[in-house]
Amino acid sequence: MSLSLKKNAMPEQDPKVRARNFDEVALGYEAELAQAEASRCLNCKAAPCRKGCPVDVDIPAFIKHIKEGDMEAAIANIKEVNGLPAICGRVCPQEDQCEKFCVLTKRGEAVGIGRLERYAADYARQQGESAATAAAAAVGQKVAVIGSGPAGLSAAGELAKKGYAVTIFEALHLPGGVLMYGIPEFRLPKEIVQAEIDGLRQMGVTIEVNAVIGRTFTVDELIEEEGFDAVFIGTGAGLPHFMHIPGENFNGVYSANEFLTRCNLMKAYRFPDTGTPIHVGKKVAVVGGGNVAMDAARTALRLGAEEVHIVYRRSETELPARLEEIHHAKEEGIIFTLLTAPVEVQGNQEGWVTGLKCIRMELGEPDASGRRRPVEIPGSEFVLPTDTVIIAIGQGPNPLVQSTTKGLETNKKGNIVADPETGATSKPGVFAGGDIVTGAATVILAMGAGKKAAAAIDAYLSGKRAGQA
């Protein structure tokens, strides 16, 4: 049988149906499709796909196990280095990572590595297999992990495997960080996130929720009073950026952070069965072009909006969102209003949004990011009628932990300065990784940072144990 140069298509909900529900869009492979896709893998000895994986999953090995129908071996292989496979298989941008290096891209489409990772993880969960990994004997040292997003969860899992007593401190009422509050149910069902977190609990990890470090405890208090031997900071990038244009204080203007948190974490889409409401008008404008903007736009549509625009100042070529997310948004009827920049939010006397005044743009010379700079076209202003505006132009670090921790170096953006290979900060015994260091990035890059930091924490604490022997 000749090798197919195209991926096996992912089964999905019909766009017209899914645009009005919060069920997962991608339905996942069944066994026959998974084995067909796995059969496309050439099992290259050099395995170039591995160099695109921030946590170094042995990709050819787990795919070979799927091809042979040995699902226990497949998931065991993945979980040697990746504690969150059901999550990564759904939300990681494989097209820019592992799949980018697949040799099949020279002639056709890469193997669907992410789809196969998801299949293996979902199969294991459906069979009732625990998400936990065996932990080593206790070493008698405690590590505090601040934040339960992908960096914190990864670090906690790696440290628990090595025998450390790990406590995660989470500011919100449920663990999971951006996986819970930032990514919609239709892309990442929350029961899957919680199942992966339950695996950590089964490994002995303690999770303290409603614990705001910088208020409940400071980092120094964790070390000096609570007896932790090391601290990992993985608080992410949850502070939203705004445009600072007139009218941003009108009712009906949200940051994407607030809008998505209300829907994803607080389940506003189930109101009044849940206690958190959300106001969404008939016409919605989402400012920005990244994955968060796509998430906000698609969420607004599901909440009942009749017309949703993505307002982005560059062209479609420069959209930073994943191609899959753009494709899904278009299928669902999201309108892309491109080469357009907002200049003012307009409102009525009652204080509610009525429109978004914009100006047309054209692309000039490339800027520092390598993308062509958008330039205003004089006299091209127009008003986009809307009653809800969602700002999705990026986010930065919350300064609370940094501002309450003596001797912790930060850069001009407020991110913690940490060694990229070890996560070591300027404060001895304190490590950091993920978006709090790099700025907003991907789930798998944050996980990779947590894994590296866990190895460095182990080396640091092993040295202390040796010195005490």
DSSP annotation string for 56-101: ---HHHHHHHHHTT-HHHHHHHHHTT-S-HHHHHHHS-GGGTGGGG
Residue 310: CB partners within 8 Å, gap ≥ 6? Answer: 286, 288, 289, 293, 294, 297, 329, 334, 335, 336, 337, 338
Query: How far from 228 is each of 46, 143, 159, 346, CA to CA, in Å?
Result: 42, 5, 13, 52
Lookup: tokens for 345: 């939010």
Cβ atoms of 397 and 237 within 8 Å: the answer is: yes
Query: How far from 121 is each of 75, 131, 158, CA to CA, in Å?
Result: 6, 9, 18
According to the model, what pLDDT value does residue 136 have? 75
Dihedral in degrees, nearest 10, Cα atoms 88, 91, 96, 99? 50
Closest CA to 304 of 222, 212, 387: 387
Query: How, if at all, do strands 372-376 and 353-366 pair?
Result: antiparallel
Cα angle for residues 376, 377, 383 (degrees, 5° grid): 90
Cβ atoms of 207 and 176 within 8 Å: the answer is: no
Lookup: tokens for 141: 């040292």
Give the burial string for 43-67 (b: 16+ CB within 10 Å, else e).
eeeebebbebbbbebbbbbbbbbbb
According to the model, what pLDDT value does residue 132 have? 58
For residue 21, the SS3 value is coil
Strand order, beta sheet including 430-432: 206-208, 165-169, 142-146, 230-233, 430-432
Lookup: tokens for 97: 């990572």
Residue that has been written with the tokens 């592992």 in this structure: 98
| DSSP H stretches of helix in 146-255 | 150-161, 178-181, 190-202, 219-224
pLDDT digits (tens), the chain, 469 positions:
567 889 999 999 999 999 999 999 999 999 999 999 999 999 998 999 999 999 999 999 999 999 999 999 999 999 989 989 999 999 999 999 999 999 999 999 999 999 999 999 999 999 887 655 666 778 899 999 999 999 999 999 999 999 999 999 999 999 999 999 999 999 999 999 999 899 899 999 999 999 999 999 999 999 999 999 999 999 999 899 999 999 999 999 999 999 999 999 999 988 888 888 899 999 999 999 999 999 999 999 999 999 999 999 999 999 999 999 999 999 999 999 999 999 999 999 999 999 999 999 999 998 887 888 999 999 999 999 999 999 999 999 999 999 999 999 999 999 999 999 999 999 999 999 999 999 989 899 999 999 999 999 999 999 877 777 5
Q: Where are the beta strands (DSSP E) in 200-269?
A: 206-208, 230-233, 239-240, 253-255
Largest CA distance in the chain: 76
DSSP-assigned letters across all residues of 182-210: TS-TTTS-HHHHHHHHHHHHHTT-EEE-S
Residue 128 C-alpha from the chain's centroid:
26
Residue that has been written with the tokens 């040799």 in this structure: 103
Rounded to the nearest 10 degrees, the angle between the axes of helix 150-161 and helix 190-202 is: 30
**Paired residues of 18 in beta bridges:** none
For residue 371, the SS3 value is coil
Question: How many residues can be counted in the chain?
Answer: 469
For residue 110, the SS3 value is coil
Residue 343 C-alpha from the chain's centroid:
29
This prediction has a pTM of 0.93
Residue 224: CB partners within 8 Å, gap ≥ 6? Answer: none
Q: How far apart (Å, rounded) are the C-alpha atoms in residues 241 and 299? A: 20
According to the model, what pLDDT value does residue 453 have? 97
Query: How far from 308 is each of 19, 184, 335, 368, 384, CA to CA, in Å?
Result: 12, 17, 6, 31, 11
Ordered by where they begin, the domains of the chain are 15-127 (1.10.1060.10), 142-238+397-468 (3.50.50.60), 240-391 (3.50.50.60)
